């Protein structure tokens, strides 16, 4: 996902949008084009070299955005080199606050959400507020997140448990199915929101503010809701459509979708004026294993934060007013 240059007709040319899931095709106009492997066509001139240090006309600039001030001392021994729940996250919050304030106007912020994100009334309200305030230009999730959020909007429960009092309501395990059925009868999430006069939650805010969302199907879905894309590779394409404009991606409590988003997000973007800027990628989860797995899968330029995403979003919403 790093900036990669190709020597084409004697010129080193930067490929826009280099990603982990793609190859590079040299087009007739001599430009390098980043194409998902699945979409390569017979006859494409695919760059096949596997060297990265300009030996064969390929140069990978893996530290292009590294801040030289960030380099640590050259000591042989240093405590605390990894990131864990014990990492100091104060500066990460400050930077993210500053970043999102900038990106609201000048960038494109995509949120990726795990199935349980809407279980807490407060976190759900915080996220909805961030969307209402313009901090969300695209959302990616699965059937469960949308269903739980809409159950909250209509019945104030998630899987039958009150999202504020934590109390299970009688027969509440049917709520989930009832929501699926009602939305399906309405034909779409916006129609459901309209018909039932809903006014709160994440999906509501997306619809109200015209924020595009992609719901990818998964093997554990009930329903699904009408908008859910059953074919995972078509869902990838839809996700890519949203991520193509992203300049900041924030993944919350989902290993599956975080890795998916990591695979298809470049670490930089070429702007219209030809200048190059970083794409920021955050992964937030309560478990070190999940955020480390992202790094194990190669998404090295991500900023990982280890905390409950409910609190993460509470804190952000409190700062981004």
| Smallest gap from residue 219 Cβ to a copy of itself (A) | 4
The reply to whether 171 sits near a copy of itself by the rule CB under 8 A is yes
Applying the rule CB under 8 A, the residues between 234 and 273 that interact with a copy of itself are: 234-236, 239, 253, 255-257, 259-260, 263
| Smallest gap from residue 105 Cβ to a copy of itself (A) | 26
Residue 197 to residues 5, 143, 150, 191, Cα–Cα distance (Å): 52, 21, 12, 10
Q: Which is nearer to a copy of itself, 129 or 209 (CB)?
A: 129
The answer to whether 269 and 279 have CB atoms below 8 angstroms apart is yes
What does the alpha-carbon distance between residue 135 and residue 202 come to, in Å, rounded to a whole number?
12
The reply to whether 283 sits near a copy of itself by the rule CB under 8 A is no
β partners of residue 46? 25
Q: Given CA atoms 239, 242, 243, 249 in this order, what sign does their dihedral have?
A: negative
The answer to whether 38 and 290 have CB atoms below 8 angstroms apart is no
268 alpha-carbon distance from chain centroid: 15
Residue from 108, 147, 161, 267 in contact with a copy of itself (CB under 8 A): 161
Q: Which is nearer to a copy of itself, 102 or 233 (CB)?
A: 233
The reply to whether 222 sits near a copy of itself by the rule CB under 8 A is yes
Strands 303-306 and 280-285: parallel
The reply to whether 91 sits near a copy of itself by the rule CB under 8 A is yes
The reply to whether 14 sits near a copy of itself by the rule CB under 8 A is no
The reply to whether 98 sits near a copy of itself by the rule CB under 8 A is no
Backbone φ and ψ of 249, nearest 5°: -125, 130
The reply to whether 191 sits near a copy of itself by the rule CB under 8 A is no
Residue from 85, 185, 194, 277 in contact with a copy of itself (CB under 8 A): 85
What does the alpha-carbon distance between residue 265 and residue 269 come to, in Å, rounded to a whole number?
10
The reply to whether 39 sits near a copy of itself by the rule CB under 8 A is no
What is the dihedral angle through the alpha carbons of 209, 214, 220, 222, rounded to the nearest 10 degrees?
50
The residue range among 99-107, 205-213, 268-276, 286-294 that interacts with a copy of itself, by the rule CB under 8 A, is 286-294
Closest CA to 8 of 61, 49, 37: 49
The residue range among 131-139, 198-206, 213-221, 273-281 that interacts with a copy of itself, by the rule CB under 8 A, is 213-221
What does the alpha-carbon distance between residue 104 and residue 302 come to, in Å, rounded to a whole number?
20
The answer to whether 217 and 249 have CB atoms below 8 angstroms apart is no
The reply to whether 66 sits near a copy of itself by the rule CB under 8 A is no
Helices 90-106 and 309-319: crossing angle in degrees, nearest 10, is 60
| Smallest gap from residue 13 Cβ to a copy of itself (A) | 20
Which tokens hold the place of 158? 């998630």
Q: Which is nearer to a copy of itself, 107 or 112 (CB)?
A: 112
Applying the rule CB under 8 A, the residues between 127 and 146 that interact with a copy of itself are: none
The reply to whether 225 sits near a copy of itself by the rule CB under 8 A is no
Residue from 79, 105, 197, 272 in contact with a copy of itself (CB under 8 A): 79
Q: Which is nearer to a copy of itself, 201 or 223 (CB)?
A: 223
């Amino acid at each position: 996902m790093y900036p990669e240059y190709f020597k084409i007709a004697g010129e080193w040319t930067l490929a826009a949008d280099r990603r982990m899931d793609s190859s590079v095709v040299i087009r007739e106009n001599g430009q390098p084009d980043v194409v998902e492997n699945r979409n390569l066509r017979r006859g494409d001139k695919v760059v096949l070299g596997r060297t990265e240090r300009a030996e064969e006309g390929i140069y990978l600039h893996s530290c292009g955005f590294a801040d030289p001030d960030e380099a640590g001392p050259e000591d042989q021994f240093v405590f605390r080199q990894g990131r864990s729940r014990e990492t100091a996250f104060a500066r990460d919050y400050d930077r993210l606050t500053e970043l999102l304030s900038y990106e609201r106007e000048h960038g494109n912020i995509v949120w990726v959400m795990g199935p349980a994100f809407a279980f807490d009334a407060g976190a759900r309200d915080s996220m909805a507020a961030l969307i209402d305030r313009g901090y969300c230009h695209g959302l990616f999730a699965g059937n469960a997140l949308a269903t739980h959020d809409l159950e909250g909007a209509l019945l104030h429960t998630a899987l039958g448990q009150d999202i504020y009092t934590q109390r299970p309501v009688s027969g509440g395990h049917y709520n989930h199915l009832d929501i699926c059925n009602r939305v399906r009868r309405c034909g779409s999430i916006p129609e459901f929101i309209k018909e039932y006069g809903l006014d709160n939650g994440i999906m509501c805010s997306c619809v109200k503010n015209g924020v595009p969302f992609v719901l990818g199907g998964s093997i554990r879905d009930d329903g699904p809701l009408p908008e859910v894309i059953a074919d995972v590779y078509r869902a990838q394409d839809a996700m890519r459509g949203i991520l193509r404009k992203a300049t900041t991606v924030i993944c919350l409590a989902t290993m599956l979708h975080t890795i998916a988003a990591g695979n298809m997000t470049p670490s930089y973007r070429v702007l219209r004026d030809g200048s190059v800027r970083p794409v920021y990628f955050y992964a937030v989860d309560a478990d070190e294993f999940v955020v480390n797995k992202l790094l194990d899968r190669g998404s090295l330029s991500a900023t990982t934060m280890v905390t409950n995403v409910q609190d993460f979003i509470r804190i952000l919403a409190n700062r981004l007013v």
